[in-house]
Amino acid sequence: MIEKIEEILQEIENLKANSEQDIEALRIKYLSKKGIISEMMNDFRSVPAELKREIGQKMNLLKTNAQNKINALRESMQNSGQSQEILDMTRTAYPIQLGTRHPLSIVKNEIIDIFSRLGFVLADGPEVEDDWHVFSAMNFAEDHPARDMQDTFFVEAHPDIILRTHTSSVQSRVMEAGQPPIRIICPGRVYRNEAISYRAHCFFHQVEALYIDKNVSFADLKQVLLYFAKEMFGSDTKIRLRPSYFPFTEPSAEMDISCNICGGKGCPFCKGTGWVEILGCGMVDPNVLELNGIDSKQYTGYALGMGIERITNLKYQVKDLRMFSENDIRFLREFKSAN
């Protein structure tokens, strides 16, 4: 019997296989209930007592070697990639579980699309900015309240380095990099030191648009605003401009649209007025042009800026701003879109 065991040990050592099926056949041949080793176990019963110990040890060795060899063959088959596991190359890839775009991205893309149709091109700038681009170059006086610690996040070791509080800083970045004509749209994240609640957050998103060329007038601005409002909220949408103040535009205005929830009749959303404010705008202050290296005698321009969360709320009536950054999958799945 010892000879037979030695023989099989040798045999096992030299086993080869070309496919998963070969390996399975070997497993059945050696290790299954009716396999060679089980049969030998049966024979083991009739081994004389004095040989039991020696033969028993060899049988155990045989069993482990066979198991190890089969495992090794399997492993090398899988590693060599020759695994014969059947891959159905004709199987359709669908249904694929697609994710959904974030509502802010959907609205951002829509805004970009509308402005691209008017010839605006994308621009961007850093979120960690310096005081110059966020404030000084945008004509903020030294003591303007927006520079106050309560609004702005400062980098502790460098009081000149801040998180931008508005995307208007990109206006300055673009102006210093090149001369008009400039026609840009810049979406991006902005930061303000606000307590987080359902209607305020320490970060949110804005889109800025800037057009500078010869003979740009307020009438051009108004037409672009009307076009934008109708494209974004439907062709029945009306706009109205109210005088306002921003350091970087003169004159400045805020734009309201007819409330798209009640159609202008008055509802809780528009507080019964029929109008909702959606953006700030104006003619670029000549000081801003000069501060950024553009000749204000030759060129004029307009700018506008809006909060993406605000526009998204109007489109989708999201009541709590915090929903936008909590990544609750049930909320996110509600937004399906083509873009």
Binding mask 299-318 for ligand DAH (x = CB under 6 A): ----xxx-------------
| Token pair listed for 285 | 């202050």
SS (H, E, C) 132-161: HHHCHHHCCCCCCHHHCCCCCCEECCEEEE
Only segment of 41-49, 99-107, 262-270, 278-286 that touches ligand DAH (CB under 6 A): 278-286
| Token pair listed for 122 | 């994308």
SS3 218: helix
Note whether 168 binds ligand DAH by CB under 6 A: yes
Only segment of 3-11, 46-54, 127-135, 277-285 that touches ligand DAH (CB under 6 A): 277-285
Query: Is 193 buried (19+), middle (13-18) or exposed (0-12) by CB count in 10 A?
Result: middle
Binding mask 31-70 for ligand DAH (x = CB under 6 A): ----------------------------------------
Chain centroid to CA 196: 22
Number of residues that bind ligand DAH (CB under 6 A): 11
Note whether 292 binds ligand DAH by CB under 6 A: no
- The phi and psi torsions of 252 (rounded to 5 degrees) equal -120, 155
Choose between 264 and 305: whose C-beta lies nearer to ligand DAH. 305
Least distance between ligand DAH and beta carbon 120 (Å): 13
* Listed residue (315, 236, 310) closest to 280, CA to CA: 310
Taking CB atoms, the residue at the shortest distance from ligand DAH is 305
Q: How far is the C-alpha of 39 from the C-alpha of 34, rounded, in Å?
A: 7
Binding mask 220-249 for ligand DAH (x = CB under 6 A): --------------------------x--x
Contact residues toward ligand DAH (CB under 6 A) are 166, 168, 208, 246, 249, 280-282, 303-305
